[in-house]
């Protein structure tokens, strides 16, 4: 599966939503997550994310992000159409500690 990681937080560009063939993105206030059981591993969303926040869960060190995607995909609503990214999305690209400060 692919998963969404920290740099999505407060960037939330949502370009990923447009390309997913199985609509497996779920929306929180400041980030999206992927439902790991619904993702068919096609990989098309990964290069579409301007924040480079989408990664295959085979990359080392992403266990906590897999857990977070699994947990919140079960709670948040499905999103199938792209909305406008936050006006200040660029300012948050690459900011450290977003999970602690801005996760929602």
Q: Which is nearer to ligand SF4, 81 or 91 (by Cβ)? A: 81
- CB-count burial class (<10 Å; 0-12, 13-18, 19+) for 50: middle
Q: Which is nearer to ligand F3S, 63 or 84 (by Cβ)? A: 84
Regarding 22 and contact with ligand SF4 (CB under 6 A), the answer is: yes
Of the candidate residues 24, 51, 68, 73, the single one contacting ligand F3S (CB under 6 A): 51
The structure tokens 């295959």 sit at 56
Contact between 78 and 25 under an 8 Å Cβ cutoff? The reply is yes
**Chain contacts with ligand F3S (rule: CB under 6 A):** 4, 8, 11-16, 32, 49, 51, 53-54
**Chain contacts with ligand SF4 (rule: CB under 6 A):** 2, 19-22, 24, 34, 39-45
């Amino acid at each position: 599966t692919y998963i969404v990681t920290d740099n999505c937080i407060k960037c939330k560009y949502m370009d990923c939503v447009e390309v997913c063939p199985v609509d497996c993105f779920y929306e929180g206030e400041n980030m999206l997550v992927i439902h790991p059981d619904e993702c068919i591993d096609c990989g098309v969303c990964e290069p579409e994310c301007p924040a480079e926040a989408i990664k295959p869960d085979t990359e080392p060190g992403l266990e906590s992000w897999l857990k977070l995607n699994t947990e919140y995909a079960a709670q948040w609503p499905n999103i199938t159409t792209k909305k406008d990214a936050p006006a200040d999305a660029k300012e948050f690209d690459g900011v450290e500690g977003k999970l602690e400060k801005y996760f929602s």
